[in-house]
Structure 1
Amino acid sequence: MKILYLVTKSNWGGAQKYVYDIATSFSARGHECVVGFGGNGELAERLEGAHIRTHSFSSLARDIRVFKEIKSCVDIALFVYHEKPDIIHVNSSKAGGLGALIGRLLGVKRIIFTVHGAPFREERMLLSRYAIYIVTWITCLLAHAVITVSKQDERDIARMIGVSKKVTTIYNGLTYDLLPERTRPKERTTYILTVGELVANKGLAYALEAVSMLKNSGKAFHYTIFGEGKERSKLERYITMKGLHDYVTLRGHKTNLEDEWHNYAVFLLPSVKEGLPYTLIEAGRAMLPVVTTTTGGIPEIVRHEETGLLVPPKDSIRLAEALSRYMDDRNTAKKHGTALHDHVVQHFSHSKMIVETAKVYGLVGKKA
């Protein structure tokens, strides 16, 4: 069985990790997997390291440019025609729409669309949000099946006309073969961690406002952010303006963070828009207590006062209060971190994600 995966960008984010995990898993099961994407980022490097065949579309990017869209459409059509896949699995709005349309026109037997957080929930002009909603709806109509990564996304997508019977939720998952060491910094300083792209959707400006409040209240902490993105210069200006250089470090992108998690006491994810973030599952695997927001599928991972602390998006004061609580009450922090670990191990496993995806592919009972 040949499976073709399409995703718009080749950087390393949640959608790209998902594509990598799915493609490598089905390749290991004997299927021929090919991945197409825009650019030549970390996803490309990782897939090549895993001996997965790739194809980069120079014209495929997130921003809309009319002539590039035409070229992307032609390039993807030629690629699909040449590859003749049995299944096309599309991810993200642009690659999803183009891939699903071309797949239908070329008679691909099975087209799957994964929604990584409903894109029309992003903060944009109203007209843009309507346009994205329509594109998402058309993509869902063109697909034979739609996967959402959270029940919240499933509810949003299932409201679309003609789509409800196609939609199923399959949670992102990790492997838990190696349990984390339960050593944490013992000193008075609380080390706080965020991992994510430096983009507006991650709400990092609100996190910096929150830690500025903590600084002003005399709390002993250090906040580290791993990631890169177009908001970096804005965040650097805020750090300078608020005198946070001794309290905040932008570490940039790091390929492997497995050796970092045990160095921190609290994980912070201040997002204003999410699907189902892998980083929260990774925090749970590392037994870190989590402060995060109620957006998207986050409450399906983090249950307030049980497996972490939830606050409304864009609320710096509540973020600061939640962080302060964990700093002052380390017993509760440890209790929540342990409970989150137990929760993600039970509900967010890699093996379950692959089994459920195989069912959507129609591979159950075949060589799956």
Structure 2
Amino acid sequence: MKDQDEDRSGPRAASASQQARAGIEPPTLLFVVNVGWFFISHRLPLARAARAAGYDVHVLTEVHTPQEAAVIEDAGLVLHHLPGNRGGLNPLADLGYFLRLLMRMRKVAPALVHNVTVKPVLYGTLAARLLGIRAIVNSISGLGYVFTGKSRRLLAALVISAYRWILRRPHIRVIVQNEDDAWLLESKGAIHRQQVMLIRGAGVDLQIYSAPPEPSTAVPLVVFPARILKDKGVLEFIAAAKLLLERGCKARFVLAGPVDPYNPAALSAEALERLLSGTSIEWLGQVDDMPQLYGRANIVCLPSYREGMPKALLEACAAARAIVTTDVPGCRDVVTHEENGLLVPVRDERALADALQRLIEDSELRRRLGSAGRRRAEQEFDLKIILRQTLQLYRQALEPTR
């Protein structure tokens, strides 16, 4: 359903139908995103809102299934399939990806480019600059894998150097999802502060993620809603669940997320099954109906090492579910300790187990934290707020420079 504010926050151009009647060519907006499933999960509502606001919206991404392509095209968007090298560090493969991106972008000839995630931000920005496109918006969706391990310091330094060389231009807008990321990027000289706009994640549709009463059950359901990545804290979640089961704690522990073989921090399905062997911990794999799963859950747990603004926790807030997560950038921007969830130290399975046990055994505390989370979602994370802010940024990016 279209928010009435969307039309007001788009470019001063009118809606698509009004432009057609006036004979005005709609501005072309090109999203550059690494993979189709991520675009659908995190940016499809924005693309729909942009189209309603009068943009001709194109998407340059790698789609893995016909279903992904159908979802994008059925939304009235123009899809351009771009095979990528998302998890690789092969310079020749990256060069091939960049050249394909450059040729596709030249063909589309967009007025505005919105790049999302690391490689699209770097290569999409460089391509846009080479083609003379000045309206460039970059979403840095967290500083994840590269910035979450001591062994990756060289890689992090290379990424920062690339950001510094490619992004530090006054006309290039940079969206960050939390203040920690903004501070880190600015302190490293990767961006200027005046380039930055803080937009708190992808938002959450409060109509889809309603706040059903917590299910009354003697065995609470604890859900880990994320891809099976070490950096999401999957090993700590499994270790904490095993510890609680050894203590005799009555609860169900469920992993709800797919493996991601293209991510360097991924666990394989075989490795995960070995870890779960002999336990009652369940793995559901990819779950398409997350609102229904949150409705059955009592507690949502994401012990991540670092996030931008985790969509799973925004959804948990909207669903009025108590949260246990880590005191790291992104997670602590969604959860305030003892207000709408509990924060624990990162990589600390025992502290994680203790926090989970506290909520498992205290249904009144769960209800209080969940209710506060719903209020926070309504005030800060509503999809309508995120769409309005982003479309306003598009309008500013398209304004002629003086």
Contact kept in structure 2, 1:39 and 1:56, CA below 8 Å: yes
Report deviation, 1:364: 9.4
Correspondent of 2:339 among 293, 303, 306: 306
Contact kept in structure 1, 2:160 and 2:185, CA below 8 Å: no
Equivalent residue runs for 1:113-262 within 5 Å: 113-119=138-144, 120-123=146-149, 124-141=151-168, 144-161=172-189, 163-172=192-201, 173-177=203-207, 180=210, 182-229=212-259, 230=261, 231=267, 232-240=269-277, 243-244=278-279, 246=280, 248-262=281-295
Percent of aligned pairs sharing the same letter: 21
1:99 aligns with 2:132: no
CA distance in 1, matches of 2:291, 2:318: 10
Question: One-letter code of the match for 2:210?
Answer: P
- Partner of 1:292, secondary structure, is strand
CA distance in 2, matches of 1:43, 1:330: 39
Question: One-letter code of the match for 1:156?
Answer: L
CA distance in 2, matches of 1:182, 1:323: 21
- Partner of 1:362, secondary structure, is helix
TM-score of the pair, normalised by structure 1:
0.92
CA distance in 2, matches of 1:362, 1:159: 28
Gaps of 5+ in 2: 1-26, 262-266
Q: Over the residues paired in the alignment, what is the CA RMSD in angstroms? A: 2.0
CA distance in 2, matches of 1:103, 1:187: 55
Report deviation, 1:304: 0.1
Question: One-letter code of the match for 1:116?
Answer: S
Corresponding residue for residue 345 of structure 1: 378
Corresponding residue for residue 4 of structure 1: 30
Contact kept in structure 1, 2:209 and 2:315, CA below 8 Å: no
CA distance in 2, matches of 1:85, 1:237: 48
- Partner of 1:8, secondary structure, is strand
Question: One-letter code of the match for 1:152?
Answer: D
The farther-off stretch of 86-95 and 21-30 is 21-30
Instruction: Give the 3 Å change call, closer, same or farther, for CA 365–145 of structure 1 in structure 2.
Output: closer
Corresponding residue for residue 3 of structure 2: none
Correspondent of 1:55 among 60, 80, 83: 80
Contact kept in structure 1, 2:210 and 2:318, CA below 8 Å: yes
Instruction: Give the 3 Å change call, closer, same or farther, for CA 179–117 of structure 1 in structure 2.
Output: closer
Q: Deviations over 1:265-317 (max 9, x none)?
A: 10011111211011111101111000001122211110001110001111100
CA distance in 1, matches of 2:140, 2:360: 36
Correspondent of 1:23 among 19, 37, 47: 47
CA distance in 1, matches of 2:398, 2:176: 23
Corresponding residue for residue 299 of structure 2: 266
CA distance in 1, matches of 2:392, 2:53: 14
TM-score of the pair, normalised by structure 2:
0.84
Report deviation, 1:228: 0.8
Higher RCO structure (Cα 8 Å, ≥6 apart):
2
Contact kept in structure 2, 1:118 and 1:156, CA below 8 Å: no
CA distance in 1, matches of 2:68, 2:231: 21
Q: Deviations over 1:34-69 (max 9, x none)?
A: 111134257544312322111111244331222221
CA distance in 2, matches of 1:99, 1:54: 16
Q: Deviations over 1:130-184 (max 9, x none)?
A: 1122223334225611000112212222224352210110112122235635333
- Aligned residue-pair number: 360
